[in-house]
Amino acid sequence: MNELVEKIDELYVAFKMDAAAQIEKGNKTAGTRARKASLEIEKLLKEFRKESLEASK
């Protein structure tokens, strides 16, 4: 589960940088990367939720 949290953290940092680049500079490519990262984060968060429920049993 630690690896999963680390992956989420790494993707969030990348998302945050790309989203900021899109907002501040109008960088469309960074916006595309941010959207892609958000989809990956969503998948990992679902997996985290699943694993955390199993760990609490």
CA distance 38 to 51: 20
Kindly report, residue by residue over 13-23, the tens digit of the pLDDT: 999 999 999 99
H/E stretch holding 27 reads none
Burial class (CB in 10 A: 0-12, 13-18, 19+), 28: exposed
Q: Tens digit of pLDDT for each residue in 24-35?
A: 999 999 999 999
Measure Cα distances from 14 to 36, 44, 52, 55, 57 in Å. 10, 15, 24, 28, 33
pTM: 0.87
| Domain residue limits, the chain | 1-55
Across the range 1-14, mean pLDDT stands at 96
